[in-house]
């Protein structure tokens, strides 16, 4: 099939490159010429294991353009993969979604052949029905399900293993109304053996938000129980090892610690809270998921203060990305901790194998170390991200406050405090 992908961020670039690897011809669309130039040179526009390899391998079947018009006219199917950032009140900024929908409508007005639009960007339930479809219909003068097809096909890719996740999905969720779109999607995903659930558009959109909200809830639940464990000198990791043995619960997403970050959990849970409130609901569980998460860095800071008076001391941070395997610092727990330490007058020295450049743009006024060894010389060390290399450092004689359970630090440090153990 000939497929176009609008937006070459992490969802778009992985989806497009994955579809090219499966034998499709893919046209990438972006307003950012630089990203397109990178793709044309066989380079990945984001850091993601395996991505560059499949872009390079399939370069002969990959095209790039800044024009939605060109892309739509030379393809049968278009994926919308543009970003949906947060507004300051937690609601979603739909500016890119709206602009792309309008441009798609303008193009479809003159396209004779049937075209299928697949929404992959994370948008709240009802957004496709109430915003995307009306905009396309208005600009094209055509009807969804008659002259063009549209569906919601949320992504469940994890950063750091997005390419693996693309090729090994646990399920494919598709929300659409008409039979033709359904047939088109079945054809596109025919090589995947996993369960394909076809449902309506709103339900598919909600499946995405409910999935992320549930996983975030598991983490905050593990943290809340973990905080109680800490007070009772119980090891929360042992507790959740036992809890996770129950098949109804399962062992995943029960690692307690400094909390969740990233581009999805905080943004999606906040957006769902906001939507619920607009609908007159009081989403108490979801609100507590965020409150508990926001409190975990505070817990780490309190544990630090138990052992050192922060003012004028050098505090070292190990790990700055929101999780290992990525340079993404969005909503990283390092950010609130650094702000708190700065306010308290600490000298901060930080190390991360890949995320320092990104954090430096946001927080330029701390010291970034070339190696973890200089961080180890600090008066106290905070572990924020569980990079594998931190399991090989020498923590003997050190004061360590651990937000992620690094066993070597736990075994060796002179003073060791886990957030929840």
Q: How far is the CB of 380 from ligand UDX (least distance, A)?
A: 22
Q: Give the residue, chosen from 12, 18, 226, 261, that forms a contact with ligand UDX under the rule CB under 6 A.
A: 261
Identify whether 264 is a catalytic site residue: yes
264 near ligand UDX, judged by CB under 6 A: yes
> Do 208 and 122 meet the contact criterion of CB atoms below 8 Å apart?
yes
Q: How far is the CB of 111 from ligand UDX (least distance, A)?
A: 31
Closest CA to 212 of 156, 251, 293, 172: 156
405 near ligand UDX, judged by CB under 6 A: no
**Of all helices (H) and strands (E), which one includes residue 275?**
helix 265-278
First vs last C-alpha separation in the chain: 52
- Output 299 or 323, the one with its CB closest to ligand UDX: 323
- The Cα 143–Cα 360 span in angstroms is 48
- Among the residue ranges 89-97, 104-112, 251-259, 341-349, the one whose residues contact ligand UDX (CB under 6 A): 251-259
* DSSP-H helix ranges across 115-172: 127, 133-140, 162-167
Rounded to the nearest 10 degrees, what angle do helices 201-231 and 265-278 cross at?
A: 110
- Among the residue ranges 37-45, 127-135, 171-179, 248-256, the one whose residues contact ligand UDX (CB under 6 A): 248-256
Q: How far is the CB of 307 from ligand UDX (least distance, A)?
A: 23
For strand 148-152 and strand 171-176, is the pairing parallel, antiparallel, or unpaired? antiparallel
CB atoms within 10 A of CB 223: 26
DSSP 284-323: HHHHHHHHHHHHHHHHHHHHHHHH---TT-EEEEE--SSS
Active-site residue identified among 81, 151, 176, 264: 264
State which of positions 212-231 bind ligand UDX (CB under 6 A). 212, 215, 219
Q: State the number of binding residues for ligand UDX (CB under 6 A).
A: 19
State which of positions 122-161 bind ligand UDX (CB under 6 A). 155-159
- The Cα 136–Cα 117 span in angstroms is 10
Q: Give the residue, chosen from 254, 315, 337, 366, that forms a contact with ligand UDX under the rule CB under 6 A.
A: 254
Site string for ligand UDX, 193-212 (x = CB under 6 A): -------------------x
260 near ligand UDX, judged by CB under 6 A: yes
Provide the annotated active-site residues.
264
Which positions touch ligand UDX (CB under 6 A)? Answer: 155-159, 212, 215, 219, 253-255, 257, 260-262, 264-265, 322-323
């Amino acid at each position: 099939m000939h497929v176009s992908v609008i937006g070459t961020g992490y969802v778009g670039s992985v989806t497009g490159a994955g579809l090219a690897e499966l034998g499709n011809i893919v046209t990438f669309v972006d307003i950012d010429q630089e990203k397109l130039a990178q793709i044309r040179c066989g380079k990945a526009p984001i850091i993601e294991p395996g991505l560059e390899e499949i872009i390079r391998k399939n370069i002969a079947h990959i095209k790039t353009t800044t024009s939605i018009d060109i892309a739509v006219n030379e393809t049968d199917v278009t994926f919308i993969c543009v970003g949906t950032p947060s507004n300051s009140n937690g609601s979603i900024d739909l500016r890119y979604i709206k602009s792309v929908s309008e441009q798609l409508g303008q193009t479809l007005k003159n396209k004779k052949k049937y075209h299928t639009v697949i929404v992959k960007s994370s948008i709240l339930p009802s957004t496709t029905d109430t915003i995307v479809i009306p905009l396309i219909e208005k600009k094209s003068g055509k009807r969804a399900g008659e002259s063009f097809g549209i569906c919601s096909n949320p992504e469940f890719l994890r950063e750091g293993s997005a390419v693996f996740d693309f090729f090994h999905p646990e399920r494919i969720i598709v929300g659409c109304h008409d039979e033709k779109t359904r047939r088109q999607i079945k054809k596109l995903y025919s090589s995947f053996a996993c369960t394909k659930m076809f449902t309506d558009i709103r339900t598919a959109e909600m499946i995405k938000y409910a999935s992320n909200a549930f996983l975030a809830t598991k983490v905050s639940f593990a943290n809340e129980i973990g905080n109680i464990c800490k007070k009772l000198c119980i090891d929360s990791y042992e507790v959740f090892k036992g809890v996770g043995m129950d098949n109804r619960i399962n062992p995943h997403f029960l690692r307690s610690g400094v909390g969740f970050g990233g581009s999805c959990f905080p943004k999606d849970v906040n957006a769902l809270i906001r939507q619920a409130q607009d609908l007159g609901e009081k989403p108490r569980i979801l609100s507590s998921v965020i409150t508990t998460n926001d409190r975990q860095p505070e817990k780490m800071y309190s544990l630090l203060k138990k052992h050192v008076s922060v003012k004028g001391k050098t505090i070292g941070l190990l790990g700055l990305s929101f999780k290992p395997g990525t340079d993404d610092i969005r909503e990283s727990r390092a950010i609130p901790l650094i702000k708190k330490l700065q306010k308290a007058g600490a000298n901060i020295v930080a190390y991360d194998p890949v995320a320092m450049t990104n954090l430096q743009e946001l927080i330029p006024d701390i010291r970034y170390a070339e190696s973890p060894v200089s961080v180890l010389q600090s008066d106290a060390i905070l572990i924020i991200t569980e990079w594998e290399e931190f399991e090989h450092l020498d923590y003997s004689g050190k004061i360590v406050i651990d937000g992620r359970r690094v066993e070597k630090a736990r075994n060796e440090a002179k003073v060791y405090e886990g957030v929840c153990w």
